[in-house]
């Protein structure tokens, strides 16, 4: 049965979106999501933040990993959907979780050393509001990490693999690095790609942008 779609004033996303992708029958999808998770963990352990917010934490896959990698950090997750949060409670027992739209987070300004928003910004109705709110709760000197898919290259990769190109119905926006930079308002300190080698081609299926709040 298809995953029920959640439509709100803030968000358009299947209720168990990330769970389905991490367990996808498509090896390309599983590989990309594991690579992204590994990249996020590496970036966060390099800075060793003491307070971390996973904004749009879903079922808690990243928070589960961070429990071990950052044993002394205070881990916080926020998500607008109750169904994935219930799974996150089971998966990331050390994290503090809150049900909240990302446009109106229940935290005082300058709370977190690191804020992560991974594969969420393409689903929200007002990405500018979400990014402004994430920036608000980030401490000066803190790190904001935003990831999003390369929609064009996903279409190309599906074609190269002999699959029918499709438009993902729950993606409200097709972001580019330039667009995300314009919304955040500062240039990234790092920009990483998630390559997939389909010889003789190499496709970047996702982008990871790291911003520093001065």
Pairing of strands 51-55, 112-118: parallel
How confident is the model at residue 206, as a pLDDT? Answer: 81
Which region among 25-29, 93-97, 113-117, 147-151 has the lowest average model confidence (pLDDT)?
Answer: 25-29
Instruction: Evaluate if residue 40 carries a pLDDT over 70.
Output: yes
Helices within the chain (DSSP H only): 17-22, 27-47, 61-69, 82-91, 127-137, 151-160, 177-184
Share of the chain above pLDDT 90, in %: 60
Q: Where along the chain do its domains lie?
A: 5-212
Query: Greater confidence, 109 or 148?
Result: 109
In 3D space, the residue among 110, 36, 44, 119 whose CA is nearest the CA of residue 75 turns out to be: 44
* pLDDT (average), residues 39-49: 97
How confident is the model at residue 14, as a pLDDT? Answer: 55
What is the distance between the alpha carbons of residues 182 and 137, in angstroms, rounded to a whole number? 19
Tokens of 25: 């029958």
* pLDDT (average), residues 150-179: 62
Confidence of residue 32 (pLDDT cuts 50, 70, 90): confident
The structure's pTM equals: 0.82
How confident is the model at residue 28, as a pLDDT? Answer: 66
Tracing tokens 């219930």 back to the chain, one arrives at 86
Instruction: Evaluate if residue 212 carries a pLDDT over 80.
Output: yes
What is the distance between the alpha carbons of residues 71 and 50, in angstroms, rounded to a whole number? 9
Backbone angles phi, psi at 111, to 5 degrees: -95, -35
Query: Greater confidence, 174 or 200?
Result: 174
* pLDDT (average), residues 20-45: 80
Query: Greater confidence, 137 or 6?
Result: 137
Q: Sheet harboring 201-212: ordered strands across?
A: 96-99, 74-79, 51-55, 112-118, 138-149, 201-212, 190-198
CATH topology of domain 5-212: Rossmann fold (3.40.50)
Query: Greater confidence, 19 or 10?
Result: 19
For 4, the 3-state DSSP assignment is: coil
| Average predicted confidence (pLDDT) for the chain | 83
């Amino acid at each position: 049965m298809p995953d029920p779609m959640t439509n709100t004033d803030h968000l358009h996303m299947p209720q168990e979106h990330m769970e389905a992708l991490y367990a996808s029958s498509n090896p390309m999808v599983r590989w990309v999501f594991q690579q992204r998770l590994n990249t996020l963990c590496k970036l966060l352990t390099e800075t060793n933040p003491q307070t971390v917010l996973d904004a749009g934490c879903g079922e808690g896959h990243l928070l589960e990993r961070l429990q071990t990698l950052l044993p002394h950090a205070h881990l916080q997750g926020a998500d607008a959907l109750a169904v994935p949060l219930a799974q996150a409670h089971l998966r990331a027992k050390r994290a503090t979780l809150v049900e909240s739209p990302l446009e109106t987070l229940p935290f005082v300004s300058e709370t977190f050393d690191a804020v992560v928003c991974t594969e969420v910004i393409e689903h929200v109705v007002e990405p500018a509001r979400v990014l402004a709110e994430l920036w608000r709760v980030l401490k000066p000197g803190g790190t904001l990490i935003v990831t999003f898919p390369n929609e064009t290259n996903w279409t190309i990769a599906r074609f190269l693999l002999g699959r029918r190109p499709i438009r993902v119905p729950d993606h409200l926006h097709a972001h580019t690095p330039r667009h995300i930079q314009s919304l955040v308002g500062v240039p990234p300190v790092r920009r990483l790609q998630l390559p997939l080698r389909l010889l003789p081609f190499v496709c970047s299926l996702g982008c990871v942008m790291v911003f520093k709040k001065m």
